[in-house]
Chains A and B, each alone.
Chain A
Amino acid sequence: MNWPLEAFLSFLAAGAFGVIFNAPRRTLVSCGLVGMSGWLIYRAFFLAFDDSVQASFAGAFAVSIVAHLLAKKFRMPMIIFSIAGIIPLVPGSKAYNAMRNIVENNHLEAIAFASEALMISGAVAMGLVFAEVLMQLYFKRQARRIQRKMGLTQE
């Protein structure tokens, strides 16, 4: 596969989604970067382990962490950065194949695809939440450390 090309395309796609969702103009490049990092990590995991559920988890985890850092930097809600980044990880093709097989009366195939789509969406959700909890823990620790340094704690 062609890494620079995929990076460029996912950057462009996530930036375009930023435009559709009307993200503030100065964050559009950052939206693109979030999407790019999510997609590249998803692809790298997919090529290494050949399992789209794990890869989706890793991709969503990366999206959430990058979005969190950018949200701190820009002092804006994290949702602005994370939405555009999540879209490439949505299991569109699996859901489509499930639908197609239902229409063609291959119900067993359809269930296989549908359950895979469900697993992937679950993995994306878990990735988002895990990263968020970890980041919150980290920032809370950091805030407490700074407070202690400045002698602001109550103890």
Chain B
Amino acid sequence: MAQIGETRRELALDCFLLAGRIMMESGAETYRVEDTMIRMAVSQNMVNSHCFVTPTGIMFSPSEELATRFVRINNRSTDLERVALINSVSRKLVSGEYTLQQAYDEMMIIDQTNYRTSVWVQTLAASVASACFFILLGGSWSNIPFPFVIGGIGFIIVETILIETRVKIFAEFIGAFVIGILASIAVYTGIATNLDTLIIGSIMPLVPGLLITNAVRDLMAGYFVSGLSKGAEAFLTAFAIGAGIAVVLSF
């Protein structure tokens, strides 16, 4: 009997850590991850559990008898679909609709499936967003092909370099640099007007909106470690974009 209880608890621990890792990797807020893990633990009769989530690792201490566990979070991206899926699995586990084994299997499937739409669809979305922002910020309708094309090119460059090198700041710098160069060429050859609006519209898809929102919400909820580190990440991204544009403008 005690043996069964032990394996069951180990499974529960694996399940919580898996949920936490997937959520952190997909860009959920730290306090939501902690909240989800604690709720799942309470539903499995682990009342005195503690967890500590940072953007680079999760520590979970279930109770007095079991050892504390740790998982490392290596790559973070934004994938809201996964956040929503894990959230619904954890809801079902807490409400008793899923057993522990079912929830664990479901999460393993979520972990291994690729929910991302293809890069081309994302690039198209980035192009549309750039064009919309261009008009919203006061650009003229006759110039609308330029932010559409340049914003898309900038986005796909960042994505490609990110896959190749895994260095975010470099990818964003190059992306912003290329956007600046293309926009300058378009304006100085006389086919487009208003360089400022063109550049601002085109860099919009690179703006670290998720990081800023998350950093603020984590800070306000009292999670200072992750709030500050996410804030630093957002600042680095903003700095990379600004530097890439500044290099072009300085010529």
Interface of chain B, helix or strand or loop or mixed? helix
Cα–Cα distance between A96 and B180 once the two chains are bound (Å): 12
Output the nearest chain A residue to B85 by Cβ-Cβ distance.
A24
Query: Given known contacts A12-B132, A79-B29, A128-B216, is B78 in contact with A21 (CB within 8 Å)?
Result: yes
Q: Chain B, 209-246, contact with A by CB distance < 8 Å: what is the 0/1 string?
A: 11011101100100000000000000000100010011
Q: Does A93 contact B (CB under 8 A)?
A: yes
Q: Are A88 and B136 also in contact (CB < 8 A) when A21-B78, A96-B200, A129-B220 are? A: yes
- Chain B residues lying within 8 Å of A39, measured Cβ to Cβ, are 136
Q: CB of B47 within 8 A of chain A?
A: no
B84 interface contact, C-beta 8 A: yes
Contact of B80 among A24, A102, A132 (CB under 8 A): A24
In angstroms, Cα B248 to Cα A127, docked, is: 35
| A99-B121 contact, Cβ under 8 Å, with A79-B80, A83-B209 | no
Is there a chain A Cβ closer than 8 Å to B207's Cβ? yes
Are B80 and A21 in contact, with the CB atoms below 8 A? yes
Counting CB contacts under 8 A, is A90 at the interface?
yes
A-side interface residues toward B, CB under 8 Å? 5-6, 9-10, 12-13, 16-24, 27, 39, 75-77, 79-80, 82-83, 86-88, 90, 92-93, 95-97, 99-100, 102-104, 121, 125, 128-129, 132
| 16 examples of A-B residue contacts, CB within 8 angstroms | A12-B128, A12-B132, A13-B129, A16-B125, A16-B129, A22-B82, A75-B91, A77-B83, A82-B213, A92-B200, A92-B204, A93-B200, A99-B249, A103-B246, A125-B216, A129-B220
State the B residues within 8 Å of A (CB). Answer: 27-29, 32, 78-84, 87-88, 91, 115-117, 121-122, 125-126, 128-129, 132-133, 135-137, 155, 196, 199-200, 203-205, 207, 209-210, 212-214, 216-217, 220, 238, 242, 245-246, 249-250
